[in-house]
């Protein structure tokens, strides 16, 4: 199980890194894109060191060299996560300025670790000490190694946690908020890992091991130290990776669904919009030949239909509204959105016919449709309402009867 997890994850992370780096995008590459690619690549290297085959290859160079590679890659990945969030939270020049400070600290931490590892005799490195049960006799160089590693990792994880939580409260899209909060939870797991390392490192200075762990991990939870030394960072990496990629993965799907909804809305509004603007062409906004996106066209259609509704206000018949209301009640649609839409469509249809025939304005005008004030300024809610009205305008027998007879006979149905 361990081999499957730590053998397959580096491949997935590396593929994701290449996707971020090489994916074609319209216009300039967004700031922070390369940081995201570097983050995924570094975690791929860090996780590969847990795969038995790769670990054996690296350790053939020097005993426990795989740990130095994994730890260095982990710190680099943490710095890359911080970089991604810096570009999310600050303008590019300010993000680059702040990033330079973090990269200098990263270089200092990795250099310290490398020097400390090189100065440690192979007979005293971690694996040798574990084999002889003498972790409490680790040399000063390994304590220095641990101090550099834990200090920088804790700094970057806490930095990422604060930046993530701050950004999550102001992110404009739901997918961004979900992704950033998922990243924050991943940072908590990473903090648990750094706390474990810090406690054990501090305890080693005084000659004892706070959380024993002399055996290789056989599962995600055994021996006991594996939950903190392996599982916690693995879950942290998984959640951080998911959190930072969710917005990028969800956005194309969300945009596709939004575009499909816009196109369907335009198609359903077309009959009502066409009849209204044919009778009142002056309400059609000036065409913008340079813009043909569905969201832009839909917004124009909604504005033009609402302008037509306001223009028809003097012809809104209270008698038509009351008769349509009775017909809707007989069809058991009273109080529903569909029922209200049928009533409004009947009133608009009769009002349009009255204006086209140059009839006199109504003495008693029908009031506005329910919820008009609540929908003000909400394009999606207003579009959904007008779609219901447009469907009733095309298909409802009540609406057709209103146009033909200017009243709703008792036998009419919706």
pLDDT at residue 274, as a whole number:
93
Mean pLDDT across 403-409: 56
Q: List pLDDT tens digits, range 310-360.
A: 999 999 988 888 888 888 888 888 888 889 999 999 999 999 988 988 888
The band of 109, judged by pLDDT with boundaries at 50, 70 and 90, is very high
Whether 232 and 213 have beta carbons less than 8 Å apart is answered as no
Q: List pLDDT tens digits, range 110-142.
A: 999 999 988 888 777 776 655 545 545 667 788
Whether 290 and 323 have beta carbons less than 8 Å apart is answered as no
Rounded to the nearest angstrom, the gap between the alpha carbon of residue 130 and the centroid of all alpha carbons in its chain is 43
Q: Where are the domains of the chain?
A: 2-258, 280-405
Between 34 and 355, the more confident residue is 355
pLDDT at residue 306, as a whole number:
92
Q: List pLDDT tens digits, range 273-283.
A: 999 999 998 88
Q: Please tell me which of 114-123, 218-227, 236-245, 405-414 the model is most confident about, judged by mean pLDDT.
A: 114-123
Mean pLDDT across 356-369: 85
Residues 6+ apart with CB under 8 A from 134: none
Fold of the domain built from segment(s) 2-258: Rhopdopsin 7-helix transmembrane proteins (1.20.1070)
d(CA 16, CA 240) in angstroms, rounded, equals 13
Q: Which of 194, 167, 170 is nearest to 78 (CA)?
A: 194
d(CA 317, CA 365) in angstroms, rounded, equals 5
The band of 261, judged by pLDDT with boundaries at 50, 70 and 90, is very high
The band of 27, judged by pLDDT with boundaries at 50, 70 and 90, is low
Q: List pLDDT tens digits, range 270-321.
A: 999 999 999 998 888 776 555 568 888 899 999 999 999 999 999 998 888 8
pLDDT, the chain, mean? 80
d(CA 107, CA 104) in angstroms, rounded, equals 5
Between 194 and 391, the more confident residue is 391
Q: Is the pLDDT of residue 25 over 70?
A: no
Residue 155: strand, helix, or coil: helix
pLDDT at residue 408, as a whole number:
41
Tokens of 407: 């009243």
pLDDT at residue 414, as a whole number:
43
Enter the pTM of the model: 0.58
Q: Please tell me which of 108-112, 144-148, 215-219, 360-364 the model is most confident about, judged by mean pLDDT.
A: 108-112
Q: Is the pLDDT of residue 369 over 70?
A: yes
pLDDT at residue 393, as a whole number:
92
Q: Which residue has the tokens 């290789």?
A: 216
d(CA 285, CA 282) in angstroms, rounded, equals 8
The band of 256, judged by pLDDT with boundaries at 50, 70 and 90, is confident
pLDDT at residue 107, as a whole number:
94
pLDDT at residue 144, as a whole number:
86
pLDDT at residue 59, as a whole number:
67
Find the helix or strand (DSSP H, E) in which 74 lies.
helix 65-89
Mean pLDDT across 67-83: 85
Q: Which of 277, 190, 197, 196 is nearest to 237 (CA)?
A: 190
Whether 346 and 340 have beta carbons less than 8 Å apart is answered as no
d(CA 112, CA 106) in angstroms, rounded, equals 10
Q: List pLDDT tens digits, range 185-235.
A: 988 898 888 888 777 777 766 666 655 555 566 666 666 677 777 788 888
CA distances to 161, 234, 235, 242, 255 from 180, rounded to whole Å, are: 9, 18, 15, 9, 19
pLDDT at residue 412, as a whole number:
39
d(CA 392, CA 341) in angstroms, rounded, equals 7
pLDDT at residue 104, as a whole number:
93
pLDDT at residue 345, as a whole number:
92
Mean pLDDT across 81-93: 82
């Amino acid at each position: 199980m361990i081999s499957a997890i730590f053998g397959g994850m580096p491949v997935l992370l590396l593929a994701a890194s290449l996707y971020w780096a090489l994916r074609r995008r319209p216009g300039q590459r967004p700031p922070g894109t390369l940081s995201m690619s570097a983050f995924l690549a570094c975690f791929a290297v860090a996780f590969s060191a847990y795969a038995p085959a790769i670990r054996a290859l690296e350790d053939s160079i020097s005993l426990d060299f795989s740990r130095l590679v994994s730890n260095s890659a982990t710190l680099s990945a943490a710095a890359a996560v911080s970089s991604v969030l810096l570009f999310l939270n600050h303008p590019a020049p300010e993000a680059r300025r702040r990033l330079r400070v973090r990269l200098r600290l990263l270089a200092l931490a990795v250099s310290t670790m490398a020097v400390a590892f090189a100065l440690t005799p192979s007979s005293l490195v971690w694996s040798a000490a574990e084999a002889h049960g003498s972790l409490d006799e680790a040399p000063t160089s390994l304590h220095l190694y641990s101090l550099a590693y834990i200090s920088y990792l804790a700094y970057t994880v806490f930095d990422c946690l604060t930046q993530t939580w701050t950004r999550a409260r102001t992110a404009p899209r739901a997918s961004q908020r979900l992704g950033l909060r998922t990243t924050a939870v991943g940072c908590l797991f990473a903090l648990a890992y750094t706390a474990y390392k810090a406690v054990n490192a501090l305890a080693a200075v005084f000659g004892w091991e706070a959380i024993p762990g002399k055996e290789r991990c056989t599962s995600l939870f055994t021996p006991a130290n594996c939950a903190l030394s392996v599982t916690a960072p693995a879950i942290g990496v998984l959640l951080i990776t998911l959190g930072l990629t969710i917005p990028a993965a969800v956005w194309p799907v969300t945009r596709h669904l939004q575009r499909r909804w816009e196109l369907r809305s335009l198609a359903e509004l077309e009959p009502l919009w066409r009849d209204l603007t044919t009778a009142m062409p002056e309400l059609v906004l000036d065409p913008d030949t340079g813009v043909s996106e569905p969201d832009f066209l839909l917004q124009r259609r909604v504005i033009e239909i609402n302008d037509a509704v306001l223009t028809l206000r003097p012809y809104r018949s209270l008698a038509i509204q009351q008769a349509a209301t009775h017909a809707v009640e007989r069809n058991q649609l009273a109080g529903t959105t569909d029922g209200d839409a049928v009533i409004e469509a009947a009133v608009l249809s009769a009002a349009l016919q009255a204006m086209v025939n140059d009839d006199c304005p109504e003495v008693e005008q029908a009031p506005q449709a329910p919820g008009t004030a609540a929908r003000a300024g909400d394009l999606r809610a207003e579009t959904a309402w007008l779609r219901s009205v447009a469907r009733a305008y095309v298909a409802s027998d009540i609406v057709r009867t209103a146009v033909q007879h200017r009243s709703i006979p008792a036998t009419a149905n919706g």
